[in-house]
Structure 1
């Protein structure tokens, strides 16, 4: 399959939200990672959509958070439409975000996920990095320079209204 990867735009917002609703259980917004995102602008250059023939097949978003006084990129959510799962699209999105993040200077990234899946991208369990409850500590994974960085993950400063989240005016 050939996918067109592009930065998510304001026009993509609701279509991506619909994909997230399709891919994740109801109540997804009650997760602790969503509390860290509320009112905070995403890292727009790392929020991507994947389309095939103009149809949204997958999306990935990235948000800034803080750990031990340092800004960290929190990957997620990552969503692949159920009809496209198992084709490697999720892996493509994750690799692309990691590559783009390195180019623009992000030294460390994290996510909450299954280690057996994310280990192949270099993610490892973060010892001493604590996501707000009720997150399983075994699922808190990171990649990049985490040497000596421990503490609780908190919301990034400079909260605002994301240009991707602005309401549409009809």
Structure 2
């Protein structure tokens, strides 16, 4: 069993350790990282998951969402999503995403993208971006570029570059 709570600044060292354990140093070379550099995750959509209590309390998962422009339209990028490797497949990642996607929808966001494993993310409603529809800031395997509408039809007219919002711009 685990609990999910909003990320707080004091969680940062544990999150970094979890990301290192889950992804290793190669995480900094990914195209999605280009959208996080110089950008700020949305505090109301950044979560941690803990198992245990008291001295045995341990961070087992983390998820954040980032503001981006998708073909000029405001949207979100999901990730990184990290779960302790030995606890993968136990539902923590799915529960973190379900919470985040529900909160994002409640906040008025309409569209989310990510780069990841299609069969896994399909479990929470993500599907592949049609070939040639979006471009990322760096090479991405097209089969791993996924989207999910939080508002029906939000992706219907979106096409073009995925990019960070201009500095200081709220979307």
Q: 1:149 aligns with which of 134, 144, 158?
A: 158
TM-score, L = length of structure 1: 0.88
The reply on whether 1:88 has 2:91 as its aligned counterpart is yes
Contact 2:71–2:134 at 8 Å: present in 1 too? Answer: no
Structure 1, residues 28-81: CA drift from partner, whole Å, max 9, x if none? 111111111111111111110000123101000111111222111100100000
Q: CA offset at residue 130 of structure 1? A: 1.7
Distance 1:113 1:93 in 2: 15
Q: CA offset at residue 158 of structure 1? A: 2.6
TM-score, L = length of structure 2: 0.88
Contact 1:130–1:140 at 8 Å: present in 2 too? Answer: no
Q: CA offset at residue 156 of structure 1? A: 1.6
1:38 aligns with 37
| Count of residues in correspondence between the two structures | 159
Distance 1:141 1:94 in 2: 14
1:111 aligns with 114
Distance 1:130 1:75 in 2: 16
Distance 2:166 2:137 in 1: 17
Structure 1, residues 106-138: CA drift from partner, whole Å, max 9, x if none? 101111011111112111111201222221111
The unaligned stretches of length 5 or more in structure 1 are 161-170
The unaligned stretches of length 5 or more in structure 2 are none
Distance 2:11 2:117 in 1: 27
The alignment's C-alpha RMSD in Å is 1.4
Contact 2:71–2:161 at 8 Å: present in 1 too? Answer: yes
